[in-house]
Each structure stands twice: as structure tokens, then as C-alpha cells.
Amino acid sequence: MENKSGWKAFLSENTKQLLFAAIILSYFGWVSVDLFLSGEALWFSRLGSAIVAWAIINIGVSREKYSAYLWTIERQRIVNNLNKQTKLHEMSGDSISLTFDLHATQIAQISHHVGLPNSFVENESNKIKEFCFDVERRMEEAPWVEKSKELLREFRELEKEYRNKIKLYTRWQKLFWRLEVALLVWGTIQWGYGDLLVTWWSS
């Protein structure tokens, strides 16, 4: 199911890109053909300059928007990664603290057995047992294993989402670049030689 969904999403995005390019090319193509067949040599040539201007301004603006979009998702990725790392660091600190207390229970029991004091709990059997039971309870209730797995899973999902967004951005960036080059070449030729072409065709 995931592959099908991904494939559908890919086709859908390709369709959007094709429609975007087709609308622009069809519009300028339709107007150009109309002027060409009408014998409007001057306006046909001037349309070439309009195509060049449109390519430079509008597609340039669109590329800037996608660059801003790239910076936004990059910043979101950095913030998300820092948040996940902070949570993992906090859990690591709690885990170290509990591990220290676990060693303290062992030291307290050994010290009591050999008749030596310890710096963790009163050197009495019931106090040491209470201390050991408390540490054992905390270990059983510790949510670090599940929480760390959940954080790692969330991290992988965020990275996957980020990579998908980058792929999407790259496809649109390539589309804008190719469309801009195509329109610039088209508009420049029509601007420079369009009137001659219409005159030759009309004669």
C-alpha cells in the first residue's frame, strides 16, 4: 500500500508540473500562432520580448519562493533534530543517575555485610532494603527504552519526510530552470527574427 501511495503521489506531482509547464507554453504558443497567421509581424516580434521578460521575472520569482521553501524545511529539520537530541540527552542523564543508584545499593549491601558505613543510606537492614526496593521500582517504571525507541522512530520519519520534500523541491527547481531556458531561447529568437519570419511567410 505504501508503494502505491508513493507512486500515486509521484504521478500527481508530475501531473502538476506538466500542467504548469503546459499552461505557460500553450498560452504563449497560442498567442504567437494567432499573431503569426494574422500577419502581425511587429506584434509577433514584440511578443518575443514579452516572453523573455515573463521568463526572467515570473519564473525567477517562483524559483526564489522555492529557495525560501528549502530554507524553511531545512530550518525545521535542524530544530526537530535538536529537540530530539535534547530529549535523548535528558533520558541519558536520568539513566546514568539510576545506574549510579543501582551501584549504590550494591555498595550499601556489601558495606553492611562487612560492617562498614556507606555514604548512600543509613547502615540498617530495613533502610538498605527500602533503598534497594525503591531503586528496583524506579528501574521497572523507567520508560527510557520505549521512549528512546519512539524518539528514534520519530527521527527516522522526520528524516524520510525531509528527503521527500527535498526530492520534490529538486524536481520543481529543474522544471523552472528548463522552462526558463526554453522560454528565453524561444522569446529571444522570436524577438529578433519574428518579424522577418512573418514577412517571409506572408510573401
**Residue 77 Cα to chain centre, angstroms:** 7
Residues contacting residue 61 through CB under 8 Å, at least 6 positions apart: none
Amino acid at 87: K
The pLDDT of residue 2: 42
The overall average pLDDT reported for the chain is 78
CA dist., res. 190 & res. 200, Å (int): 14
Report angle CA 132, 134, 135 to the nearest 5 degrees.
65
DSSP letter string, 30-48: HHHHHHHHHT-HHHHHHHH
Write the pLDDT tens digit of every residue in 36-80: 888 888 899 999 999 998 888 877 777 777 778 888 888 888 888
The CATH number linked to 179 is 1.10.287
The pLDDT of residue 8: 47
- Residue 158 phi/psi, 5° resolution? -65, -40
Residues contacting residue 39 through CB under 8 Å, at least 6 positions apart: 198, 201, 202
Write the pLDDT tens digit of every residue in 1-25: 444 444 445 556 667 777 777 888 8
Write the pLDDT tens digit of every residue in 156-190: 888 888 888 888 888 877 887 888 888 889 999 98
CA dist., res. 139 & res. 91, Å (int): 13
Number of domains in the chain: 1
Helices 2-38 and 144-202, axial angle in degrees (round to 10): 20
Cell 528548463 maps to which residue? 178
* Pick from 39-43, 46-50, 84-88, 196-200: least confident: 84-88
Average pLDDT of the segment spanning 119-128: 75
Average pLDDT of the segment spanning 105-132: 76
Q: Which domain holds residue 112?
A: 2-202
CB contact burial 105-125 (16+ within 10 A = b; e otherwise): beebbebbeeeeebebbeeee
Average pLDDT of the segment spanning 120-132: 77
